[in-house]
Structure 1
Amino acid sequence: MIQSATLLFIGGTEVVFILFIVVLVFGADKIPDIARGLGKGMRALKDATNDIKHEVTKSAQENNIVDTDLTKNIEKEINEVKDEIEDFSGSIKRKM
């Protein structure tokens, strides 16, 4: 398994430099507003993706296209991988 992870192949020094440039360009008082806007945008994107997923699944089930047992097994595997990634990333977040 991966022992260390990098964020887009950017080291700590580069992240600090980028944050410094962001503070210079936007100012410290606007950064919370920018972060809040990005968070709302990401949430809206996630909600839209979930709505599309539910519509496609509903349509497929109505037309008997999808084998629900197969999709449940795939969903179970995806959730297991997701949990493993969250466990791994949680240990990275605690070390930072």
Structure 2
Amino acid sequence: MFGIGGGELFFIILISIMIFGSKGIPDVARFLGKTMAQLKNASNEIKSEIQKSATESGVDVNSLTGGISDEIKKAKEGITKAINPMENIASEVTKPIEKVKEDIESLSGPIKRQL
């Protein structure tokens, strides 16, 4: 959770108990929960307003982000090919082998039935 280990979480809880006391922690947690909910609602409202104004002006937001997503995907594939060249070679070799295997199975099927 957020890169925090068990010992670190225990230390944070211990410090919070020392600062706020055992009776004040529920109030602090409630306040933080309400604040997070308000931030989430505000960000959702902003997002919906942006989408609404983009739709009204005739801009397709999905097409804008789709192009970026495709470019990111291509870049990831290129990096993966550069880092793992053996993986690419293995896939290039296995495809013809699978094709030959299917051909042999299709040819040997009638022969097996005769025996």
Cα distance in 2 between the residues matched to 1:45 and 1:55? 15
Instruction: Decide which of 1, 5, 8 is 2:2's aligned counterpart.
Output: 8
TM-score relative to the length of structure 1 = 0.60
Q: Which has the larger radius of gyration?
A: 2
Instruction: Decide which of 38, 42, 50 is 1:56's aligned counterpart.
Output: 50
Shift in Å, 1:18: 1.4
Hey, what does 1:28 align to over in structure 2? 22
* Number of residues of Structure 1 aligned to a counterpart in Structure 2: 67
Q: Deviations over 1:64-95 (max 9, x none)?
A: 01155x48x8xxxxxxxxxxxxxxxxxxxxxx
Which structure is higher in RCO with an 8 Å CA cutoff and minimum separation 6?
A: 1
Structure 1 unpaired stretches of 5+: 1-6, 74-96
State, as a whole percentage, how many aligned pairs show the same letter: 45
TM-score relative to the length of structure 2 = 0.51
1:66 alignment partner AA: D
Relative to its length, the structure with more helix (as a share) is 2
